[in-house]
Structure 1
């Protein structure tokens, strides 16, 4: 009788892939469709694998199949090994895409992404096409390779990398301050969208309840233009307002800040963007940090 080492010697990868697909989908028919095989071919390969490993991996029933205890225990290891194999093959031999489509809000594109595009690796031989999304984007209808989403970075099946740590604080044009000795008495500018606003600022800092904003805009970049024009005080994103603060167009009005757990992340489905190209875009656009801001199988490469 063959020992365990002999049983595992030269274990056919195709049999293992069939087992993983059948175990993941819970159905030989679904596995056959996914792998481009017939149901009979899937069943035959599973039987061959079971004979080789010396254990039953599936229980056959009238209405389908279920994993045995041994099969259920083995499946996570097989899935992880195949993902690692696929990623390494993609990294070393995968054909790069000629075009990557990145979708983000107009504010993020204009104030964060565009100023950093010149640093994109000169070895990145692909076109990066930028498209603007609406306030409430329908990601399901998006044809983007990479999406910039607001949230905590945890989207199932997606690799993500945080663009920057979002920090908010009141900002205004210097000339506006001449109208009042207390900036809280000045007109407020509000921005529609996912970021917290003036109410959250008051709750966090203990400031008095804010007045109704005099102006409201549907994008941060438009609200920023209004602040530069001296129309009011904006709850500004420090990472997006570095140019205005550097040249004195806007000034900070408080030492307090509103640092957010959520923020803007690049996100891509794991099989949509070759890891080498993902890394090139990430290194160009994402703010380095000592915090664990990157998630996903190839995010730290």
Structure 2
């Protein structure tokens, strides 16, 4: 049997949306701008909500507002409920998506996305997946994409992000490069320029000696990986990007410690846009769960 008293006590959704925006921003004016309301309208809705609940939710200050203890306790529950409602609405009523656009570095597309894409495409035979190659940060900023696959710390202004893989670096080589009993440090190493740490950082983190001979230098990990598979040298392998090569036996890890970096591979999307069900399915196929 429905509890009519509970129904009557539940505040209007609009008041809760205003409370969430004001609580998150700490400012009624910012909340008004976000929601397309006047500052007076935001203040009125907050007063209505406080009256309904019988509790003060904000302390008004000369510059902005501050949540009371009751407001701090209430805010995460309201945010969780609004997120769940938004997600359910998108799941049930969003129009069918005909295309997904993904921005990523070419090597990440090749080594991380394509090997995992076939089952997802089989479930969505009419879906068009478009890839946008991004080589630098500004390429991501300019890309008109639903989802970014980025390397870094996971913090990008105006975006949310979900970690796919923490970056792990470990020495690896083609089986043909090393004969039994040979010391891998006597072989040339292949180096990679860019944001990842190199051999010296690996040595400092693990306490292992720095390899002395350098043979090749690349600016893209897919080229580094291919060179290693050809037996041209030892690489400091990104284990997430080398997964397929290691599984196939084209590359083997050497008996050395790995280096856990504080960066990783992230799926990222615009903070104000709620991921659609098909976006979450794609993320799940790659190993992440979009909020």
* Contact 2:163/2:264, CA 8 A, preserved across alignment: no
Q: Hey, what's the Cα distance between the residues in 1 that align with 2:213 and 2:83?
A: 52
Q: Hey, what's the Cα distance between the residues in 1 that align with 2:47 and 2:192?
A: 61
Q: How many matched pairs?
A: 283
Which is further off, 195-204 or 210-219? 195-204
| Unmatched tracts of structure 1, length 5 or more | 287-293
Could you tell me which residue of structure 2 aligns to residue 225 of structure 1?
226
Which is further off, 60-69 or 37-46? 60-69
Deviation at 1:163, TM superposition (A): 4.7
Could you tell me which residue of structure 2 aligns to residue 108 of structure 1?
108
- CA 77–8 in structure 1, closer or farther in 2 if over 3 Å, else same: farther
Which is further off, 52-61 or 239-248? 239-248
* 1:126 paired to 2:139: no
Q: Hey, what's the Cα distance between the residues in 1 that align with 2:266 and 2:225?
A: 21
* Contact 2:103/2:140, CA 8 A, preserved across alignment: no
SS at 2:214 equivalent = coil
Normalised by the size of structure 2, how large is the TM-score? 0.77
- CA 215–135 in structure 1, closer or farther in 2 if over 3 Å, else same: farther
Q: Hey, what's the Cα distance between the residues in 1 that align with 2:199 and 2:74?
A: 52
Q: Hey, what's the Cα distance between the residues in 2 that align with 1:244 and 1:272?
A: 36
Q: Hey, what's the Cα distance between the residues in 2 that align with 1:126 and 1:99?
A: 6
Deviation at 1:171, TM superposition (A): 0.4
Q: Hey, what's the Cα distance between the residues in 1 that align with 2:109 and 2:69?
A: 50
SS at 1:194 equivalent = coil
Deviation at 1:188, TM superposition (A): 1.4
- Please show how residues 143-222 of structure 1 align to structure 2 within 5 Å: 143-151=144-152, 158-163=160-165, 166=168, 168-172=170-174, 174=176, 176-177=177-178, 181-203=182-204, 206-211=207-212, 213-222=214-223
| Unmatched tracts of structure 2, length 5 or more | none
* Contact 1:183/1:253, CA 8 A, preserved across alignment: no
SS at 1:260 equivalent = strand
Normalised by the size of structure 1, how large is the TM-score? 0.75
Deviation at 1:35, TM superposition (A): 1.8
Q: Hey, what's the Cα distance between the residues in 2 that align with 1:41 and 1:241?
A: 55
SS at 1:274 equivalent = coil
